[in-house]
Structure 1
Amino acid sequence: MTESKRASNGDKIFKTLNPEAAAQLKASLANTAPVLSQYISEFVFNDIFGQPGMSLKQKEIITLTVLLTLGNTNYQLRVHLQSALNIGITKAEIMATFVQCLPYAGFPRVLTAVQIATDVFAHSSAK
């Protein structure tokens, strides 16, 4: 697959998950680091999210888990929480995922993720 085809396919997947974040990311990187936008489209969304074997919902649950566990990923966590809601992952499923992380990531990271999720839920039009 050519680079432009990879980017185009990755953009399509990103827009399926979170059209607002996709547009904001492209715009914010256009003048300063357009290559990062290209890498995100090609690698993250085409090569990784585009892989067969798991649904987008499963991939988003894993992404939320990793972001929570890493900590210090508030912006990305917000983006992926909204993406999860956009593709039909429920608030209850998100909270259950966070609780499952508790013994492995600890209270501080789980509580931070819950606080961020609460804010995203309050401002999201997704149900």
Structure 2
Amino acid sequence: MMNLINETSRRARGQAALEAIDGEAGEKVVAALKDIAPDFATYLLEFPFGDIYTRPGLSLRDREIATIAALCALGHATPQLKVHIAAGLNVGLTRDEIVEILMQMSVYAGFPAALNGLFAAKEVFGLHGEGNGASD
């Protein structure tokens, strides 16, 4: 796991974590916010990425498992779910692990949420050259 907690600036920690987790996709989100809500872009860098993602105790991989599960369970956060499915791939989750996380949500969040999550994953996998199903 990255240990960014010792950096002095929340924004610097957040920027480094965002780059490690989401890469270019995260930068696009921050850039898209600059013309409508630049303060929100700062909050996004500082709180979730600068304070939470950089805490010791969970790896980035583990944090993405929790995030994918939570966003799937919410059932209305598909754009963010897609970003975090891609982030999961970036931090070492396999396609099969992501599919299992989403299937697990059928028990706790219902079949519609799991189906929506699986279709979001299918789209992300296709965009990332990861195929369209659980296995090639």
TMscore range, shorter length = over 0.9
Question: What do residues 55-110 of structure 1 show as CA deviations (whole Å, max 9, x unaligned)?
Answer: 00000000000000011101100100000001110011011111111111110000
- Where does structure 1 differ by over 3 angstroms across 4 or more consecutive aligned residues? none
**Correspondent of 2:118 among 88, 96, 114:** 114
Letter in 2 for 1:96: E
1:6 equivalent in alignment to 2:10: yes
Partner of 1:71: 75
Structure 2: runs of 5+ lacking an equivalent:
132-136
Distance 1:49 1:84 in 2: 13
Distance 1:97 1:84 in 2: 11
Provide the aligned length of Structure 1 versus Structure 2: 125
Partner of 2:87: 83
TM-score (norm 1): 0.93
Partner of 2:134: none
Distance 1:115 1:99 in 2: 11
Distance 2:55 2:98 in 1: 22
**Correspondent of 1:58 among 55, 62, 66:** 62
Partner of 2:29: 25
Distance 1:11 1:126 in 2: 27
Identity, % of aligned pairs?
35
Distance 1:26 1:58 in 2: 23
Residues 1:10 and 1:116: Cα distance change in structure 2 (over 3 Å) = same
Cα displacement (A) at 1:126: 6.7
Q: Is the 8 A contact 2:85 2:124 kept in 1?
A: yes
1:38-49 → structure 2 map (5 Å cutoff): 38-49=42-53
Partner of 2:41: 37
TM-score (norm 2): 0.87
